[in-house]
Amino acid sequence: MPYAQPLWRQIRDDLRAKIRAGIYPPGSKLPSARLLAEEYDTSHVTVRRALDSMIELGELVGRMGIGVFVADTSEQDS
């Protein structure tokens, strides 16, 4: 029986799916951690962990005081 993934990983995977589906296109701003926490019915700390892991991998870009944006990978390829 497989074990359940931690909630932050489930959130990360769901955000990745939404990015692939075009719900959050490159350059778009994600909802705030507070709003995402409400959407996923969890704490903002759990959401922050998911976002931080994606920022570390270059999938998202955090801008202090502005928000978190989907990385534009086409600019990275140039």
Tell me the per-residue pLDDT of 29-72, one tens digit each, with 9 for 90 and over.
999 999 999 999 999 999 999 999 999 999 999 999 999 999 98
Bridge partners (DSSP) of residue 60 are 70
Tokens read off for 25: 């296109």
Predicted confidence (pLDDT) at residue 78 exceeds the cutoff of 60: no
pLDDT at residue 73 in the model? 74
Q: Taking phi first (over 0 means left), then psi (-120 to 50 degrees means alpha), and beta for anything else, what does residue 61 get?
A: beta
- Give me the amino acid identity at 5: Q
User: Where does the pLDDT of residue 2 fall: very low under 50, low under 70, confident under 90, or very high at 90 and above?
Assistant: low
